[in-house]
Amino acid sequence: EVQLVESGGGLVQPGRSLRLSCAASGFTFDDYAMHWVRQAPGKGLEWVSGISWNSGSIGYADSVKGRFTISRDNAKNSLYLQMNSLRAEDTALYYCAKARRTWVAGAFDYWGQGTLVTVSS
């Protein structure tokens, strides 16, 4: 059974940093791209960042480029999101999602339950 478990969310002041983690199990982690998707309270889904199976390709939404860094550790079956210079508009539930392919061309077939990030003073 595929499982994605996010952690690392919490309340943080504007301008500070936070690191999210996603522990994956139930599939061959290094065969697939992985992504972070967020959802602000009462709003729609926003793709944040994605990383290919071997970390060779990485993408970011314009809203987080230069502030967030995605990474993965295939030996630990883990995905990470380093979030710096956090802003109030980064407040959201952050989902980890598995893609069906190694980079583009793969829809997101499994999702975690999310970890809540609240940016407030």
Residues that bind other proteins (CB under 8 A): 35, 37, 44-47, 50, 57, 59, 61-62, 95, 99-100, 103-109, 111-114
How far is Cα of residue 99 from the mean position of the Cα atoms in its chain? 12
CA distance 30 to 44: 29
Q: Which is nearer to other proteins, 36 or 75 (CB)?
A: 36
In whole angstroms, how close is the CB of 15 to other proteins at the nearest point?
A: 27
Nearer to other proteins, 75 or 107 (CB): 107
Phi-psi category of 64—alpha, beta or left, where left has phi over 0 and alpha has psi -120 to 50? alpha
Instruction: Report, in Å, the least distance between residue 21 CB and other proteins.
Output: 17
Nearest CB to other proteins, comparing residues 35 and 72: 35
Token pair of 5 as six digits = 């478990």
Least distance CB 68 / other proteins (angstroms):
14
Q: How far is the CB of 117 from other proteins (least distance, A)?
A: 16
